[in-house]
Amino acid sequence: MYIAKHLIQTTVSGDTSLITSFHYENGSGSKVYLQGNLHGPEIFGTALLIKLIEYLKENPIIAGTLTVVPQANPFGVQSQMYGLIYGRWNPQTGNNWNRIFSKQEGDGVESVLARTLISLAKDHEVVLDIHTSGAETIPYVFTSKEASDVLYPLGGECHILYDESDYYGAFDETMWKCGKESGKKVSAATWEASSHMTLDEKDLDARFKDLLYFLSSLGMLNKEEDMSLSYPKLFSMKQAQYLFSSQAGYLTWTKSVGEVIQTGETYANIYEPWSGEMKHLYAKSPLILLSKGTLQAVSSGQEIGNIIVL
């Protein structure tokens, strides 16, 4: 095992922003790349991968190559204000940190970050980018149709499948596309593993079990106890949509994440400060509530969650 440091930026005061990668190898076998915390508020992946690094000290990989980048973006997590981490976008450019991977040329810091992560991940057959979703979520996965079977042991109730027409410069899609262009199968995915800005030990333990099971399914770790997994429901990218509030006010949820909500069913209450009344939000068509947004005081038209439109 070895650890490598990668310089991303020297700041005006002379400090450096680095990425740290952990490298494991034991003969031939699967080549797996794991990263976390590309988006600032999505700190869960980092803690999960540190758990893995600790675990590997006592339980080394039995076959293959594993690269782990617990914190893929030194800037996002440091964008903090009044108890919030808001680093989903680069404050200098307004660009989403997970839409920077289509442009890898030049001296811009986004290109340097994109090049560094892509060069660390390339030559791996399985690429997993660990993210989080909203204030509360079910675990779910974005991946390609061909990779869905490989990702199945990771758990997750839904797989949202993309194809070439869905490309928008996200990390996993870029690694999948690079693989396709060079004639190699790369099973790449974004794993929405927990919720934003929270580290819950119970949740960490549950997802860690999923991760170990996944790595053992790739022949990288000793076989874990069999888990009874049900096959995820498969959806297209077009079905994965944001949920916008049709009304303004203070919002409380009346449905749970993972629930199917039928047309006409109430899923949230809205408290209007100007009328003194409580109103409801109804489903306009059948949907699955994937995650609830963090904002509970909303204007009409604001994003309040992630859904699958059925």
Using CB under 5 A, list all residues that contact Zn ion: 39, 42, 131
- Which residue in 22, 34, 47, 33 sits closest to 194, CA to CA? 47
Extract the tokens encoding 81.
């204000």
The answer to whether 42 and 50 are in contact (CB under 8 A) is no
Minimum distance, C-beta of residue 75 to Zn ion, in the bound complex (Å)? 14
Minimum distance, C-beta of residue 280 to Zn ion, in the bound complex (Å)? 30
Distances (CA, A) of 84 to 109, 120, 291: 23, 30, 19
| 211 contact partners, CB below 8 Å, separation of at least 6 | 48, 52, 154
How far apart CA 80 and CA 82 sit, in angstroms, is: 7
102 φ, ψ to 5°?
Answer: -80, -15
How far apart CA 201 and CA 92 sit, in angstroms, is: 34
Minimum distance, C-beta of residue 174 to Zn ion, in the bound complex (Å)? 15
The answer to whether 224 and 258 are in contact (CB under 8 A) is no
Nearer to Zn ion by Cβ, of 125 and 129: the residue is 129
Minimum distance, C-beta of residue 227 to Zn ion, in the bound complex (Å)? 26
Minimum distance, C-beta of residue 37 to Zn ion, in the bound complex (Å)? 9
Minimum distance, C-beta of residue 131 to Zn ion, in the bound complex (Å)? 3
Q: Please state the length of the chain.
A: 310
